[in-house]
Amino acid sequence: MVSQSLVIAIDGPSGSGKSTTARLLADRLQLGYLDTGAMYRAVAWEYLNSGGTAGDADAIVVLTREADLRISTHPANPLVTINGHDVTTAIRDPRVSASVSVVATNPDVRRILTKKMREIIAAHHRRIVVEGRDITTVVAPDADVRILLVADPEARVARRAAELGHAVDRHAVTDQVIRRDRDDSTVSNFTDASEGVVVIDSTFQLPEEVVAQVLRLVDTLPADR
């Protein structure tokens, strides 16, 4: 078990393995786990559920600012609620996936949720694994270990299709993965590693192999950091 503060930040495109890697690391090192993408998805679900239209950016900002958004940081129990609704499963619905970029590309929404993410990191006494789009550069640029996890598009689409089940439209999944990456890249750079960020290609690696690489980076950290 790691006894001192340890923040691991993981960025990457859809299907690169961020969530699986982050949960495994959090469990292995007994750290908290924060899926920042789930926060954007929860806002998107609430907005759709309230009957909002995609083009009303101001309403999305107001909803985000006023929402009671809560997210579990236990790697084995990723509970997400918003305004009292348990949306843990609902936020993975294709309807939400198709709309979440409208939320995630709103600069004001990103500022509001980034503040909340930093509050969660602080509340965990900086003992947490955080994964998302701009964690290494915006949310936690001072993280102890910063990773950009990448994978070939075909591998990413295959993984996302496997997550959704066999009865999925492969073309729709491909559009969802590629289009969301394209949309989100307009406000977040998660394709190029900034200085100090280690790139790991997960295309031909098992999750445990990726985790092993990150653990080796943790082992190289100075004891007095």
Task: Measure the CA–CA gap between 208 and 153, rounded to whole angstroms.
Answer: 21
78 marked as part of a ligand binding site = no
55 marked as part of a ligand binding site = no
16 marked as part of a ligand binding site = yes
Task: Measure the CA–CA gap between 44 and 197, rounded to whole angstroms.
Answer: 30
In the chain, where does DSSP find H-type helix? Answer: 18-29, 36-49, 57-66, 94-104, 107-123, 153-164, 170-184, 207-219
165 marked as part of a ligand binding site = no
- Structure tokens that stand for 108 in this block: 């004001």
Task: Measure the CA–CA gap between 97 and 181, rounded to whole angstroms.
Answer: 12
115 marked as part of a ligand binding site = no
52 marked as part of a ligand binding site = no
15 marked as part of a ligand binding site = yes
CA dihedral (91, 96, 97, 99) in degrees, to 10, reads -140
37 marked as part of a ligand binding site = no
Tell me if residue 79 falls in helix, strand or coil. coil
Beta pairing class for 6-11 and 145-150: parallel
| Residues that constitute the known binding site | 12-20
| Residues that constitute the known binding site for ATP | 12-20
